[in-house]
Every structure is written in structure tokens, then in C-alpha cells.
Structure 1
Amino acid sequence: MASKVAILLLALGHLEVAQSLAKPEPGECLAPTYMTRFSAKLFQVMMKLEDQDGNVSLSPFAVHAMLALIYRASEGETLSEVQRVGEFNQHPVFVALDFERLIKFKEHLQSAKLNSYSRVFYNQKLGKVNSRYDEFSKFYFDIDTKPVHMDGGEDTARWLPFWIQSSGISSHMQAGETKNFAIMHNHEVYGLADLPELDATALELPFNDSATSMLILLPNQLGGLASLEQQLAQPEFDLNRIANRLHRQSVTVSLPKFSADSDIDMTDALKMLGLRQMFTDSSKVTKLLDRPVRVDKILQSSSIFVTEQGTLYLHFLANKRSLPANSKEFVANRPFVFAIRTPNSVLVMGHINSP
């Protein structure tokens, strides 16, 4: 029988954009990656489970990194399930190298501050952590392992003081309700695409110093958010495929200031995706300690803040040029999906119902 271990995934995705958005440069067409495929699956399941009337943010990248770590620490059917759900088609060490490169890339962003903290908590009565696992976890994933009391009936908040028990999801709007909110305006050449299959429009806002960008998916209809999110997990609507359809053109952008804070138990969503054995006493997570352990929960807390101080630099006023006659207009005055992404992964994703 497997012993008890709790895994907490705490992803504090605090995003601050410190500089202006860059003018997009033509890029190569990118095929879907295993990271973007996993992100789409996770996002669709999470949107079924989470409050559809509020603002929601989550970090598919942080969840995926934790699964990559469990992939290395497992064997048997547990390993097979993690491999299938995580779309890991190569040796765990090569998967770990992918995540190490992405973590280092994220740490060197200049125009966005994106912090994430992941920790594994285990019952200290079970002994010490496997030193080889601990070294692997810290080196490739920057994830620490911490022993805690789990069998003494203690409140979880006592050993997870940073875990926020109450959700910070913003107040929501009723169907047909209108609301006044602060809008940021900009005019520049951006990537824009009509997506008739999704009944939506896509806009890409790149950050200055890297291939990182914010992708906004705006339903054409006021009540089109739920339908859009249901379709995003389909292979043909992978975010890389959507990005490949963007065309650089003159765009006048009106985007609200927005924020989203979410405290999420990811366990049910991962079970729905096919991760089952590791949450049972038959778990084959064998390399974390010197005995098999089971996972109790995977939790995530994430926050994103987008304001005019960092996201849209209103530099179009400086050159006083008139707008081209053929300029397109993108007005995000209804609920939309957002994704902070690289060409290989989705760092933060969610939806905004009420700025």
C-alpha cells in the first residue's frame, strides 16, 4: 500500500509588464508542441470546473512542469498515465531539459515579471526525501521538497501559510448586463486574424525582449465565451495554429485593464484527463522517498495584472500621425480568453468576464 504524500503546486504567476509592447516581427510557422497540446486539454477541463462568471487565470506550464517531475519519479501504470496525459513522448531527462530551458528563458524576461513557485510537501513521518530525486527536482524544475506534519489533524493552512483559502475571483456580470471600465488604447501594426470557425477574432500583443506574447481571443458574439472555450482543446485550434494565421496589419486596439486571481484545486481536472493511479493507494510514485507514495492534491494559486503602466504603452500619440484608412479595429468590450505564451508553451491562460 502506498504511503501518503501531498503535492502542492503553488504557481504565483504575478505578471507585470514593465515596458511597451514591441512591433511584431514576421516569424516562422510553428507546429503544435506537446506543451501547447497539454495546455489546451487542461484549459478546456478547467473551464468546465471553474466559475464561468468570474475572471479565471491558471498556469498550464506550472502544472505541466509538476507532471514532468512526477514522470521522472514514477514507474509502471502511474508512469504510463503521466506520460499519456502530459504528452511526454521522450525520456524523462529530455523532458526535464525542455522545462529547464523554458524556466531559464522565463527568468530573463525584461518586459514582464513572471514569478512562479512550486513546492512538494510530504508526510515527514515517512522518512527523508530521495536525495537523487531532490537534486533532479531543484536542478531542472527549481522545485523544492518540504517535510510537514500530515497525520496530526492539523489545519492545512498551518503548514501552507501562503495558500489562500478564499478565492480572489472578481465579481461577475449577469447576462445582458453592461458595465463601465477603464480602457487602454493603442494603434500599431499587430498580428490579427479572423477565426470564423471559432466565431472569434485573435490579436497578438508581443513583448519587447523575446518571443513571448499575449494572445487575445475575442468572441464575435457577446455570449460566445463558453462556446469558444469548448472548441479550444481541439487539435485544429491549437494556439500555435491560431498564431500561424495572424497577419500583420494596422490595428487600433481598445483593451480593458484587467486582473484575475484564482486559487484552484487541480486534482479533479487531472483525474478527468486520465491521471488516476497516482491519487490512489496503488500509486507507483516510487522515487520521491524510499517507498511508494500517493499524491493527495495538486493545488495552484495564480494572479495576473494588466494595466496601462505595463501592457499598452500609449506611444502612438507621440508621432501625431493620422490613422490609415484601412486600419482594423479590435475592441475588447466583452468577455475574452487570454494567453501569455511562448512559441513552445503557455505560461498563463484564462478568461476575463469582468475587468
Structure 2
Amino acid sequence: MASKVAILLLALGHLEVAQSLAKPEPGECLAPTYMTRFSAKLFQVMMKLEDQDGNVSLSPFAVHAMLALIYRASEGETLSEVQRVGEFNQHPVFVALDFERLIKFKEHLQSAKLNSYSRVFYNQKLGKVNSRYDEFSKFYFDIDTKPVHMDGGEDTARWLPFWIQSSGISSHMQAILTNNMIFEVYGLADLPELDATALELPFNDSATSMLILLPNQLGGLASLEQQLAQPEFDLNRIANRLHRQSVTVSLPKFSADSDIDMTDALKMLGLRQMFTDSSKVTKLLDRPVRVDKILQSSSIFVTEQGTLYLHFLANKRSLPANSKEFVANRPFVFAIRTPNSVLVMGHINSP
């Protein structure tokens, strides 16, 4: 029987958003809606597991990209589970192409800045990485693979960020996948069926935007989050209902930092075998791989620039009498998204 090794997957993210006025331009549809469906499932499960009293930020896209990588590197029941949970309905190479286009989307951004990098660190005691996997991960996911010591020594400190080390790195661990995303970066719609109001803040000259869902009731956050997992409340459908109008926007400065173990959430969604000794992740290294954990560190920081006004130029001295107001003075859901994928999503309880 082939020996098993353990793998630890991690995603790191940091998001900085500067509120700004922009012309809403129709963006190119860069990825199929299976990405949005996965984001909705993951978000609902994570909101059940995470602290509901604090601010929460997570990157569904980063987790999904990991699953897409595992999808290509798996076989048997492991592949089937990853396919079902990831909503992958086509060949792994075509799925990888979708992620490649979205990852490279940052090259076409102008005013919005999106920087991201990913790496796989593996225990050098294991020998060499599967060369075909290495080529695949670099070409489609822009992920480099680097051997390191996993003993907590100087080499570990040099290559692995402190948060990863503090999560419990030890010499028997085999591999770590890290992802780091940095963003430097307005329609409105009433949603009576969600008892909420939606606001979209486009990034300048970009199809990327921040979507804010504000419950109409002070205690309506939990109910809103439960409904967002339903297909009829897909974020794309919500965004398509937005229409440009005169809006006075008051959005406070807010931030959220989350270190999240995604393992239990993914198990709840149906990923099981790859976390056991029966794992059929066979193509990542030159031996079968058991996934021990999938961890993510994500943060978002939105700067406060006072009350913003949509539709008129920023230097207008007065607002028309019929302009609407959007005041985020109670807990809300936010999502940083492209037309068909959710890069970062969470909720803010305490701005």
C-alpha cells in the first residue's frame, strides 16, 4: 500500500478599500456562475461556524482556487467530492482556465489595484514535487513551489509568515499552500423579499466592485445571511437589479481580520475523503497526499471619507432634493466581487 503524506493548505489575504466615485461600466463576464454558487454555499456555512458578534472576512475565491488545484490532482472518490463541492461541471483543465483568466484579470485593471501571489511550500524531506503538477500550478494558478524546512528554524522563519508558523507548523507536516491578495481601491436597489437594501460601489475604471447589503431591520443580519445561500438571491442577480440614481452614501470606516480554519466548513459541504488516509490526491507530489487542514487569513480595511454622493460630480456643493440616502448605521453584509466571482465576503457587526 502506498504511503500517505499530509498536506496543509492555507490562504492569506489582505484587502484595503478606499471609497471612491466611479462611472458604472458594464464589466466583462470573466467566469461562470459556478464560482458564485460555491461562494454562497461556503459563506452560509462559515457564518454558522464563525463568531456572529464580531466582524468576519473571508475569501471564497481563494478557497475555490485551492479546490480547483486539488481537482486536477485527484482521482476516484476524492475527485468526485471535490467536483460536487466545488460545483465543477467540466474538465479540470477548463476549470483551471477559468481561474487563470480571473487571476490575470488584475492586469487589465486601471484605477483599482489588485496584487496577488501564491506559493506552495513543501517539506524538503519529501524530495521533489511532481513536475507535471508544478507546471500546471504555475501556468494556470501562477503558483510557485518551494521546498523549506518545517522544523521551525531559521529557514522556516525566512519563508513562512508568522501567522502560518503560529498555526502549528511542525517537522512532520508536508506542504503548505499560501495565497495573499492585496486590493487598493457606486447603483442602488430595494430588496423587499430580503428586507434589505443593496448598494454597489464600483472601483474606478474596473468591473470589480463592493456590494453592500444592508438589512432594513436592526436585527436582520442573520436572516439575510441565511437567504443569501438560496439561488434566487445569487449576488449576480442582486447586482443586475441595481439601477443608477442620485444617492447620498454614508459608509463608516470599518475593518475585519479573520484567521479561519476552513476544514470543518468544507467537510460540512461534503469534502471528506481527502482529509483521511484514504485520500486520492495522487498528483500533487510523487505519492498520495492526505489534506490535514485548509486555513485562511483574510483582512479588509475600508477607509472613511465621509458622506459620498453618487451620480453627480464629487465637487458639487449641493444635492438635489430628491436624492436618496444610504446610511450604513447597523450590521451589514459586504462582498468584493467581479461580475461572476466573489473575491472577499463577510459581515460587519461593529464598524
- TM bucket by the smaller chain? 0.7 to 0.9
1:205, 1:213 within 8 Å by CA — same for their partners in 2?
Answer: yes
Cα gap change, 1:5 to 1:171, in 2 (>3 Å) = closer
Deviation of 1:198 (Å): 1.2
Residue-by-residue CA offset, 1:271-312 (whole Å, 9 max, x unaligned):
111000000000000101122111011111111111146996
Residue-by-residue CA offset, 1:155-189 (whole Å, 9 max, x unaligned):
99898433268899999999999999xxxxxxx99
Residue-by-residue CA offset, 1:73-124 (whole Å, 9 max, x unaligned):
0011110110111111111111111111101113543333444443334444
Cα gap change, 1:261 to 1:234, in 2 (>3 Å) = same
Look up the match of 1:343: 339
Cα gap change, 1:262 to 1:230, in 2 (>3 Å) = same
Moved more, 332-341 or 313-322: 313-322
Moved more, 140-149 or 215-224: 140-149
Look up the match of 1:25: 25
Residue-by-residue CA offset, 1:125-166 (whole Å, 9 max, x unaligned):
433210110111111112233445569999998984332688
Cα gap change, 1:317 to 1:171, in 2 (>3 Å) = farther
Moved more, 53-62 or 144-153: 144-153
Question: Under a length normalisation based on structure 2, what TM-score does the superposition of the two structures give?
Answer: 0.85
Cα gap change, 1:282 to 1:234, in 2 (>3 Å) = same
CA distance in 2, matches of 1:131, 1:303: 33
Residue-by-residue CA offset, 1:21-45 (whole Å, 9 max, x unaligned):
3122467999970000000000011
Residue-by-residue CA offset, 1:321-351 (whole Å, 9 max, x unaligned):
5322321111000010000000110011111
Question: Under a length normalisation based on structure 1, what TM-score does the superposition of the two structures give?
Answer: 0.84
Cα gap change, 1:227 to 1:4, in 2 (>3 Å) = farther
CA distance in 2, matches of 1:170, 1:2: 23
Cα gap change, 1:169 to 1:341, in 2 (>3 Å) = farther
CA distance in 2, matches of 1:141, 1:179: 10
2:246, 2:324 within 8 Å by CA — same for their partners in 1?
Answer: yes
**Runs (5+) with no aligned partner, structure 1:** 181-187
CA distance in 1, matches of 2:316, 2:169: 39
Q: Which aligned pairs between 1:135-214 and structure 2 lie closer than 5 A? A: 135-148=135-148, 160-163=160-163, 190-214=186-210
1:169, 1:262 within 8 Å by CA — same for their partners in 2?
Answer: no
Deviation of 1:253 (Å): 0.5
How high is the sequence identity, in percent, across the aligned residues? 99
Cα gap change, 1:146 to 1:133, in 2 (>3 Å) = same
Cα gap change, 1:234 to 1:167, in 2 (>3 Å) = farther
Cα gap change, 1:179 to 1:40, in 2 (>3 Å) = closer
1:164, 1:263 within 8 Å by CA — same for their partners in 2?
Answer: no
Deviation of 1:238 (Å): 0.6
Cα gap change, 1:281 to 1:158, in 2 (>3 Å) = farther
RMSD: 7.5
Cα gap change, 1:123 to 1:172, in 2 (>3 Å) = closer
Cα gap change, 1:265 to 1:203, in 2 (>3 Å) = same
CA distance in 1, matches of 2:129, 2:172: 44
Deviation of 1:69 (Å): 0.4
**Runs (5+) with no aligned partner, structure 2:** none
CA distance in 2, matches of 1:141, 1:59: 16
Look up the match of 1:183: none
Cα gap change, 1:4 to 1:106, in 2 (>3 Å) = farther
Secondary structure at the aligned position of 1:23 is classed as: coil
Secondary structure at the aligned position of 1:249 is classed as: coil
Look up the match of 1:120: 120
2:123, 2:174 within 8 Å by CA — same for their partners in 1?
Answer: no
1:17, 1:112 within 8 Å by CA — same for their partners in 2?
Answer: no
Aligned length: 348
Moved more, 318-327 or 2-11: 2-11
CA distance in 2, matches of 1:234, 1:57: 20
Look up the match of 2:316: 320
Cα gap change, 1:310 to 1:247, in 2 (>3 Å) = same
Residue-by-residue CA offset, 1:245-271 (whole Å, 9 max, x unaligned):
112111110101111111111111111
2:188, 2:244 within 8 Å by CA — same for their partners in 1?
Answer: yes
